[in-house]
Amino acid sequence: MASTSTAPVLRNFIAGEWREPVSRQHLDNRNPADASQLVGRFPASGPEDADLAIAAAQEAYSTWRLTPAPRRAEILFRAGQILIQRKDAFAADMTREMGKVLLEARGDVQEAIDMLFFMAGEGRRLYGQTTPSELPNKMCMTTRVPLGVAALITPWNFPMAIPSWKSAPALLCGNTVVLKAAEDAPLSAVHWVEALTEAGLPAGVINLVLGRGEECGAPLVRDPRTRIVSFTGSTAVGREVGVEAARQFKHCNLEMGGKNAIIVLDDADLEMALDGCLWGAFGTTGQRCTATSRIIVQTGLYKKFIAAFVERVKTLRLGNGLHAHTQVGPLVNEEALQKVTGYVEIGRQEGARLECGGERAIVDDLRHGYFFNPTVFSDVSPTMRIAREEIFGPVVSVIPCSGLEDAIEIANAVEYGLSSALYTANVNAAFRALRDLDTGIVYVNAPTIGAEVHLPFGGTRNTGNGHRESGLATLDVYSEWKTLYVDYSGHLQRAQIDTGE
């Protein structure tokens, strides 16, 4: 990584070397809390850079796939130890480039550490099966095998955690990687690759290209040499990725949008529900695929909940995420700011009641960044656009419901199905919700956000394509099963053929 007197100039990482892009062009990486601050400059990579990275990964695959899985795992473990040592520095850089508060940035790095350690543990547990044969003197077994080059396309909102979700299992299974990180958080991706390389990953096993998605991400998806594609981002782009991957019969994992709901029943612990809704809606400034975008409240508690919730929302402190007192950071860029502003206007036009927020925050130092006041709409109908479409910002819609069945029907009446939650003291209601909420993740008495790395993460319907990140389930994305037979009978045996004996 080269640097200038003003800001670091990042490079791509290809075949074990930090390289300038073929175009020699760079893009600015600016601090969303103060857009006048240049965090760094990163490559404007194009198809030529993608081609070089794929070629390097393909060449390295022939030897990496033969490296024993426990040895691959040891490298992942060492990378986790490196991240522990540099956690605070990497977190601070993350906050500067994409805005989330420092406490959350540390959590992002910690999730990468957890994923590395979890997958390192699986290096001695890439288990297959042995099973009796229907024929005598015959052995039957299965084993996982890698596929080749994995193209990993990751977003800016979890710029180290999500690359770890994809890279760690891909590498553990014996694949090589080309990572295309989001243009709003390139520095965190550089730190991720630095840690893996320093831990001993051989040249070409992981490669990094930085730039815009259509210029260097799309070529990774289209290239026939990539045999796995894993994408986290919008549903619209994910659909295109899925179509292209299907055309070439690639393994494909898609993690896309969300419109997550918390249900609060009359018997809920109000204080606990308020805490959960506040964190779920405004953590990471609402810029999470798991963010709580809808709060569905039973009518007996509805007015009391809104009054208490709005009072708390108004006390949230906006500011630079590096400052200890900050609770809500900026939106990531001007485009995100305009999108959120547009949806607030849609909510007004639809007749929802604006309880607080609803405008850009421009007081004092906030005027230099992309800050938006935390916003609450009440009296929202489930058919309104603000209750159905992903906003990806600090805007939450509060919707009344008559009871549990009504709430579940409202929660399920969107195209997405990532995460949902229920606050209640009724164990029967809790188990009905666990059964009937049509989302990949369901919480009881906790908000919609958060994941533990040893469990599957993903959603239903337009949130994904059925695969999962994290946990053991993700290994099915990055490997395929090979069935092995050894016949030691010494003569021809024909399965399923009745010999009459």
Cα 37 → chain centroid = 27
Average pLDDT of every residue of the chain: 96
Contact 159, 185 (CB under 8 A): yes
Angle between the N-to-C axes of helices 186-198 and 69-98, in degrees from 0 to 180, rounded to the nearest 10: 150
* For residue 129, pLDDT beyond 70: yes
Burial class (CB in 10 A: 0-12, 13-18, 19+), 436: middle
Q: How far apart are the first and last CA of the chain?
A: 72
**Residues 281/292, Cβ–Cβ less than 8 Å:** yes
- Give the pLDDT of residue 5: 46
Whole-angstrom Cα distance, residue 20 to residue 26?
9
Kindly name the residue from 216, 277, 289, 401 that is annotated as catalytic: 289
Name the one residue in this structure whose structure tokens are 């964190």.
279
Q: Taking the domain 17-27+45-256+464-483, which CATH number applies?
A: 3.40.605.10
Calpha distance 416→293 (Å, rounded): 12
The residue type found at 183 is E
Predicted local confidence at residue 152, as pLDDT: 98
Instruction: Read off the pLDDT of each residue in 254-265 and give the average, rounded to a whole number.
Output: 97
Q: Is residue 110 very low, low, confident or very high in pLDDT (cuts 50, 70, 90)?
A: very high
The fold for domain 260-444 equals Aldehyde Dehydrogenase; Chain A, domain 2 (3.40.309)
Q: Is the pLDDT of residue 80 over 80?
A: yes
pLDDT tens digits, 260-299:
999 999 999 999 999 999 999 999 999 999 999 999 999 9
The answer on pLDDT for 331 being more than 80 is yes
Structure confidence at residue 498 as a pLDDT band (50, 70, 90): low
List, in sequence order, every residue forming a beta bridge with 251; answer none if it has no partner.
228
The pLDDT value given to residue 496: 83
pLDDT confidence tier of residue 371, bands split at 50, 70 and 90 = very high
Which among 465, 413, 456, 475 is positioned nearest to 438, based on CA atoms? Answer: 413
The pLDDT of 35-60, averaged and rounded, is 97
pLDDT interval class at 203 (50, 70, 90): very high
Report the pLDDT value the prediction gives residue 141, as an integer from 0 to 100. 98
Annotation marks residue 216 as catalytic: no
Average pLDDT in the 402-408 region? 98
Q: Which residues pair with 375 in a beta bridge?
A: 395
Q: What pLDDT does 2 receive?
A: 47
**Residue ranges of domains in the chain:** 17-27+45-256+464-483, 260-444
pLDDT, tens only, 443-460: 999 999 878 999 999 999
pLDDT of residue 81: 98
Q: What average pLDDT does this structure show over 313-342?
A: 97
pLDDT tens digits, residue range 137-190?
999 999 999 999 999 999 999 999 999 999 999 999 999 999 999 999 999 999
Which long-range contacts link 44-47 to residues 24+ away (Cβ below 8 Å)?
44/211, 44/212, 44/215, 45/12, 45/21, 45/209, 45/210, 45/211, 45/215, 45/216, 46/21, 46/22, 46/211, 46/215, 46/216, 46/219, 47/215, 47/216, 47/219
Tens of pLDDT, residues 351-368: 999 999 999 999 998 999
Question: What is the full DSSP assignment across 39-92?
Answer: EEEEE---HHHHHHHHHHHHHHHHHHTTS-HHHHHHHHHHHHHHHHHHHHHHHH
Query: Quick check: is 289 catalytic?
Result: yes
Q: Which of 255, 355, 390, 469 is catalytic?
A: 255
Q: Which residues are within 8 A (CB) of 443 and not within 5 positions of it... i.e. 6 or more apart?
A: 419, 420, 421, 422, 450
Phi, psi of 227 (to 5 degrees): -105, -10
Q: What is the arithmetic mean of pLDDT over 213-227?
A: 97
pLDDT of 3 reads: 43
Q: How far is CA 101 from CA 32, 93, 274, 281, 292, in A?
A: 12, 11, 20, 15, 18
Residues 457-476: what's their mean pLDDT? 95
Q: In whole angstroms, what separates CA 188 from the centre of its chain? A: 14
What pLDDT shows up at residue 499?
61
Query: How buried is 152 (Cβ within 10 angstroms: 0-12 exposed, 13-18 middle, 19+ buried)?
Result: buried
Q: Is the pLDDT of residue 237 over 80?
A: yes
